[in-house]
Structure 1
Amino acid sequence: MTRYHAMREVPAAAGFKEGDVLFLCGELFGRGYANGIVDEARAKGMTIIGSTVGRRDTDGTLRPLNAEELASAEAILGGTIINIPLEAGFDMEPGKDGVTPVDRLKGVKPDEWSKVTLDQDELNCAKERGTERFRSNLAAVIAQLETMLPAKGNLVIVHTMAGGIPRARVFMPILNKLFKGQGDRFLSSEAFWNSDMGQFCNMSFNEVTADTFSYLIQATAGLRERCPVRYAAYGYHGTEVLINGSYTWQSYTPYLQGWAKIRLENIATAAWEQGIKATVYNCPEIQTNSSALFLGVENSLYPLLASLQQAGEKTVVAECQGLLKAGVTLNDLLSCANTYLSSELVTSTRDYDTWPQHNSPAQQEYMLNSSAQLIGMNEEGKEIICAVLSRGVFRGVGKLMFESSWDPQAPVFWLNHDVIAKRLAS
């Protein structure tokens, strides 16, 4: 388990300038964590270069972006994209028998998950082929990136690859029960995780979320010989939030990607020990399009309001107050969130050393009911407080990662509510 290391103070302003380059390994879709650091780099006049995961045709063939897709992706990024597919993972790679892991699950019904048997040799073969494809394409991307770098300047490489849920149709109803199920629809994350399908997910999460960072560090060894290079990656390992007036570490349960996130931290630590400035920044819980599956993850976001109030930030706080139903105050909202976070149902599995934890019926029901209660305090469902707070986290995390990357101090940092509030208020 990684040594806990929170960033307590806002780093000094970064010295990046025009002529320096930020390279994003992973494609931007909508608004997410990575937008924050891209915005900071753009404001400093840095050159923004991105990549793409590519697209799959109807027959499953992986291809580069077409002209329309490329124009759209570059507009979202605000920079140039190297159009070589960097899709990570192996769920659509054929095994020795020519069948992909996804195809092996065709026809499987959601309630049959515990009976599914997957051939480990075939999965390993698909994984090796997926890794080989990714590393080959990554080498081509880095070769092109090298031709785009100026003779002098700094390079910041940002790894944004995460997730890895296999794209078999059967997974979504299973995961919906696992993360959102109550009563008869509850599904034990531990039972699923120990099944063949669960271990397939584990392999996929490790490959996409963690191992791609290792491949990236290895592929850019040559770049480190020609210019100063810093690496930044996005992690999650719980967050300190205000509970009963004190900053307390807590986490979302069940966070099945947690083992892959620990693996990501270990990769950064191993690189750091070799003198490579690679840092994983463990970010707070937010609500995004990709986190919608994890209903309840946003319960830990609300205490950021109290941190912002303590830090003297007024803009975000006022915007949030304006979204509440008539007669509801921010104190009402914070009290509800605090009650949830201090409940024994939540605190009983709050243990850093054994993280991540699995779900239980009572814990999950309480988490989901609390989520509904908190969301219900908003005047309407289109623009809600946790969306505003999420945007604040994007900005705060982006600023802290950008500034920290100028003179990196550790392989793993926790960006908790205290330092994010300080940064947004400054």
Structure 2
Amino acid sequence: MTTYHALRQVPAAAQYKEGDVLVLCGELFGRGYANGIVDEARKAGMTIIGTTVGRRDGDGTLRSLNGEELAEAEANIGGKIINIPLEAGFDMEPCGPDGRSIADQLKGVKPDDWEKVSFDWNQIEQARQQGARRFKANLGLVADELARLLPSGANVIFAHTMAGGIPRARIFMPLLNRVFKGQGERFLPSETFWKSDLGKLCKISFDDVTGDTFRYLIDATAGLRDKINGRYTAYGYHGCEVLIDGNYTWQSYTPYLQGWAKIRLEEIAEEAWKSGIKATVFNCPEILTNSSALFLGVENSLYMLLAALEKEAPGPAADGIRTACLALLADGITIDDLLTTAHDYLTDPLTVAGRDLSSWPQHNSLPLQELMLNSSAKLIAMNRNPKEIVCAVLSQEVFRGVGRLMFDFSWMPDAPVVWLNHDVIAKRLATV
């Protein structure tokens, strides 16, 4: 069990400067957590070096970015992209006697037949090893490029941004929609799915993409650490403390099936830390983004950030965020209405029953899922326009707070795993 270490106070400002470097291991798409640390690095005058997952051609061949794609990716991060494909995972690797990939094997499987799917696990392991070899070989080439690009003596943040790992087969999305968003007869218990062959495949893939790539990054850049002062950051999730009835209380989204892979990520950081390597996983608060839209209801606890801001940081920062949120609400709806509805969800006996950090992650139940989704619908309906919602404002603020906290903490890190809860996010947002 990972030691629970919550960051309670805003760390001192980092001393990164021009000539220091932020290296992103993973490609940025749209706005997400990683944009926060990129923004901080840019403000500090650091050089930003990105990577790419590459692209797949119509025949499935993995390739580097073409000229147009590369220009767009470099404009997105404001720096150089090392154009060597770092796609993680193994679902497209040929395996077995016929050389078909796992994705190919799953083509044509109908949603109603998902429980009949079975795998030759030796083939799965063969594909996993092939995918790992490909990834590590390309990561080695990236490290060779970095050896040429990184100035001697520079402070370097290696930011691991890889997550996910849902295999690329159509069968998964209708199933996962039932697991995460299903109600009534459409509900599929997460434990039932997780114990099936498709669920077991997902677990191996999540571990590989979300967790093991962090170890590969640390190992591949070992030779650079004599030349530079390197530290490693990664994005975790392991529940989050929010303000409930005056107290910061740990709670979590359920069912977070990627949770086991996030625990693996923490364990990799802890192993590295014991070897004297500055590697930290930052467990971040729940937000709602394009990539998290599958997990509708994950944002229910996000509204409580407004309460944390009032408690920790009354003044211009809290007032500005509150005003921006209020402007998005439908006529007659107040911030207190939002907080009351979110509070009702977080204090419902069904939700309270899941507040067990030691047994995280937990599987779902139909009553809990319906409570969560109905609460989410109520909260989103309080917005004037469903495309311009309070969650977007609060998510952006969390990006900013997390980015600054990670950036500053990484200068003199003191733990391999850190929780960034609503209290320290609020404190950070209130500090210029």
TM-score range, shorter chain: over 0.9
Tell me how far apart the structure 2 counterparts of residues 275 and 214 of structure 1 sit (CA, whole Å).
Answer: 14
Secondary structure of 1:161's match? coil
For residues 255-334 of structure 1, the aligned pairs below 5 Å read 255-310=256-311, 311-312=313-314, 313-334=318-339
Deviation at 1:151, TM superposition (A): 2.6
Secondary structure of 1:399's match? helix
Q: Is the 8 A contact 1:397 1:420 kept in 2?
A: yes
Tell me how far apart the structure 1 counterparts of residues 150 and 417 of structure 2 sit (CA, whole Å).
Answer: 27
Secondary structure of 1:391's match? helix
For residues 22-421 of structure 1, the aligned pairs below 5 Å read 22-97=22-97, 98-310=99-311, 311-312=313-314, 313-421=318-426
Q: Is the 8 A contact 1:159 1:213 kept in 2?
A: yes
Tell me how far apart the structure 1 counterparts of residues 341 and 185 of structure 2 sit (CA, whole Å).
Answer: 27
Letter in 2 for 1:109: K
Tell me how far apart the structure 2 counterparts of residues 294 and 260 of structure 1 sit (CA, whole Å).
Answer: 16
Deviations 1:61-101 (A, max 9, x none): 00000000000111111110000000000011111321111
Q: Is the 8 A contact 1:7 1:415 kept in 2?
A: yes
Letter in 1 for 2:76: I
Q: Is the 8 A contact 2:153 2:229 kept in 1?
A: no
Aligned residues: 426
Tell me how far apart the structure 2 counterparts of residues 190 and 132 of structure 1 sit (CA, whole Å).
Answer: 31
Higher mean C-alpha displacement, 233-242 vs 348-357? 348-357
Query: Residue 12 of structure 2 corresponds to which residue in structure 1?
Result: 12
Deviation at 1:246, TM superposition (A): 1.1
Q: Is the 8 A contact 2:278 2:416 kept in 1?
A: yes
Secondary structure of 2:168's match? coil
Deviation at 1:152, TM superposition (A): 2.8
Q: Is the 8 A contact 1:92 1:101 kept in 2?
A: yes
Q: Is the 8 A contact 1:236 1:284 kept in 2?
A: yes
Normalising by the residue count of structure 1, what TM-score does the alignment of the two structures yield? Answer: 0.99
Secondary structure of 2:225's match? helix
Deviation at 1:33, TM superposition (A): 0.1
Secondary structure of 2:405's match? helix
Q: Is the 8 A contact 2:151 2:228 kept in 1?
A: no
Letter in 2 for 1:286: I
Higher mean C-alpha displacement, 323-332 vs 199-208? 323-332
Tell me how far apart the structure 1 counterparts of residues 354 and 152 of structure 2 sit (CA, whole Å).
Answer: 52
Tell me how far apart the structure 2 counterparts of residues 101 and 244 of structure 1 sit (CA, whole Å).
Answer: 49
Tell me how far apart the structure 2 counterparts of residues 169 and 96 of structure 1 sit (CA, whole Å).
Answer: 21
Deviations 1:257-297 (A, max 9, x none): 00000000000000000000000000000011000000000
Deviations 1:302-345 (A, max 9, x none): 00011112212222111011111111110110010000000011
Deviations 1:95-150 (A, max 9, x none): 13211111111111112121111110000000000000000000001100110111
Query: Residue 430 of structure 2 corresponds to which residue in structure 1?
Result: 425
Deviation at 1:300, TM superposition (A): 1.0
Deviations 1:369-414 (A, max 9, x none): 0000000111111210000000000000000000001001100000
Q: Structure 2: which 5+ residue stretches go unaligned?
A: none
Secondary structure of 2:83's match? strand
Tell me how far apart the structure 2 counterparts of residues 69 and 95 of structure 1 sit (CA, whole Å).
Answer: 30
Letter in 2 for 1:373: K
Tell me how far apart the structure 2 counterparts of residues 261 and 89 of structure 1 sit (CA, whole Å).
Answer: 16
Tell me how far apart the structure 2 counterparts of residues 230 and 314 of structure 1 sit (CA, whole Å).
Answer: 36
Normalising by the residue count of structure 2, what TM-score does the alignment of the two structures yield? Answer: 0.98
Deviation at 1:249, TM superposition (A): 0.2
Deviations 1:198-248 (A, max 9, x none): 000000000000000000000000111111101000000000001122110
Tell me how far apart the structure 2 counterparts of residues 111 and 418 of structure 1 sit (CA, whole Å).
Answer: 45
Secondary structure of 1:314's match? helix
Tell me how far apart the structure 2 counterparts of residues 203 and 314 of structure 1 sit (CA, whole Å).
Answer: 45
Deviation at 1:349, TM superposition (A): 2.0
Deviation at 1:417, TM superposition (A): 0.4
Deviation at 1:172, TM superposition (A): 0.4
Q: Is the 8 A contact 2:237 2:285 kept in 1?
A: yes
Secondary structure of 2:410's match? helix
Higher mean C-alpha displacement, 22-31 vs 344-353? 344-353
Secondary structure of 2:382's match? coil
Runs of 4+ in 1 over 2 A off after TM superposition: none
Q: Structure 1: which 5+ residue stretches go unaligned?
A: none
Tell me how far apart the structure 1 counterparts of residues 153 and 231 of structure 2 sit (CA, whole Å).
Answer: 15
Secondary structure of 2:280's match? strand
Tell me how far apart the structure 2 counterparts of residues 332 and 65 of structure 1 sit (CA, whole Å).
Answer: 48
